Structure 1
């Protein structure tokens, strides 16, 4: 049996209004059209739903039961319809990005993108879990890793410089020698591609068998720990932009060896590049990246 959607909605309006005429006004139809739809529904259900009560109508026992069963669903449909109508002109872009890139670099810039494109709605999913584009509704991902993901569009965001940093209250800029660092508490980002062991190899320093260290599984936690004076972290200038500019973090090592790698990548299926919202975001991201890179020229830590 075909579901009599129109008749159900008319009955709901009449039961809620308690009047055939008021329901007709709400629905912008005639009272006779309301009565016809209710009679059609009663015929299909085989029960009487409404009865006259003075100038209005009242629910029968079956009508009360039916009304209580359908009201929540109809109200949810009305709410959903109103929501979609209100967001009809908005385009939603879903971005997945690593927590540190989201918090430290993307979020401070995101307001400018939204101001430039008021019809763009952004959902930012901050996680290190890689996207399964066949199963998840993600438009574009900013992924941490080595850049080797066959079958996907992959583009490096920027080359990052990893430097030792600490709060100025812990050690002044340039006050330590490279071989001093093994004597200090070292902050480790355990998932980072830039590790202290690699940096010490570049510096030609043997750190010893036992280190004083504290470990975090997110780089933004390691950065915040360094700001709090907990020790010395090895982190990316891309992720520490605000902390370095404000002086909350400094490089305590004079003539620190340079460790430069790309760790953050733009990743998505190639067919996503045909979407206007994805191209818009990529153009904006590349511009922001170029501005950041230009600001790094000549900067010494």
Structure 2
């Protein structure tokens, strides 16, 4: 059976834009022509792919599953076609990272990479969902975790130090002992690999009272909450570097226990390392890591 490639491309445009009209404008055809192509694809597949919710287009369950399966392949075909036609004179590098790392550490440093490599068009995808490299058009992921992912290269970014931090308006630097902390509201990053119970164990403290807790599922939210004076957060110096460096966050503990861990890993399938754009990004990432370490260690 012949694969209806044109209809697949039209459906992809509708699903991506969320609109028959916008898809038609993008493809340079009429909305009627778009609807006909989608209907032809539905007949070919034997199932409905899109429906209506007011004036908006919504995907059916089958439509969502089908779009997820074809999205990466259609985008790769589109990019390859544009390159061959000469529409693109640059190479696209897609990097995925957690929203917290992307916002707090990666984004402030990207200008150096962009300026050094004008031939590379960078796409930064911020999400906590791990990449399915065999299905998604992602070149490199900086993933939060343990570094144990079969089939992937995983290079640790840096050994992070985890410290209690708060706004200087809440407590002065070095003014508290570990046993003082249960008197304060403690901010929890629920996905962090270093949690408050472990910190208290390392500090040799058993809280005698119920802790007042505030939970966030994103590290950057916990950091911002601490800056805003909502409590004391337990965070990585990698993530909170800017806030700690400029004095918006301080460590209120005179002698905190030393807790270090690698939690961020640059990952990709081994064959991705053959691509020049990926090697350039890894090399740049290592230099930025080394520069950051030198600055951090000099400030201790």
TM-score with structure 2 length normalisation?
0.72
Match of 2:204 in 1: 204
The equivalent position to 2:29 in structure 1, one of 66, 69, 72, is: 72
Match of 1:168 in 2: 168
Provide, for residues 184-224 of structure 1, a one-character-per-residue CA deviation record: whole Å limited to 9, x for no partner.
10000000001011111100001246210100001000000
1:195 aligns with 2:152: no
Match of 2:137 in 1: 137
Match of 2:259 in 1: 259
Q: CA deviation at 1:297?
A: 1.8
Provide, for residues 49-78 of structure 1, a one-character-per-residue CA deviation record: whole Å limited to 9, x for no partner.
xxxxxxxxxxxxxxxxxxxxx9627xx9xx
- With over 3 angstroms needed to count, the CA separation of the structure-2 counterparts of 1:204 and 1:170, relative to structure 1, is same
Cα distance in structure 1, aligned partners of 2:93 and 2:208: 49
Q: Gapped runs of 5+ residues in structure 1?
A: 1-69
Q: How does 1:11-90 map to 2 (within 5 A)?
A: 72=29, 88-90=88-90
Cα distance in structure 1, aligned partners of 2:207 and 2:94: 44
Structure with the greater alpha carbon radius of gyration? 1
Question: Runs of 4+ in structure 1 displaced over 6 angstroms?
Answer: 83-86
1:118 aligns with 2:114: no
Cα distance in structure 1, aligned partners of 2:107 and 2:298: 26
> Aligned pair count?
226
1:98 aligns with 2:55: no
Match of 1:272 in 2: 272
Match of 1:23 in 2: none
Q: Gapped runs of 5+ residues in structure 2?
A: 1-26, 35-77
- With over 3 angstroms needed to count, the CA separation of the structure-2 counterparts of 1:209 and 1:147, relative to structure 1, is farther
1:179 aligns with 2:179: yes
Q: Report the secondary structure of 2:222's partner residue.
A: helix
Q: CA deviation at 1:299?
A: 3.6
- With over 3 angstroms needed to count, the CA separation of the structure-2 counterparts of 1:255 and 1:90, relative to structure 1, is same
Match of 1:8 in 2: none
Cα distance in structure 2, aligned partners of 1:87 and 1:197: 56
Q: Report the secondary structure of 2:29's partner residue.
A: helix
Cα distance in structure 2, aligned partners of 1:125 and 1:137: 11
Q: Report the secondary structure of 1:72's partner residue.
A: coil
Provide, for residues 174-193 of structure 1, a one-character-per-residue CA deviation record: whole Å limited to 9, x for no partner.
11111100111000000000
Q: CA deviation at 1:131?
A: 0.5
TM-score with structure 1 length normalisation?
0.71
Match of 2:151 in 1: 151
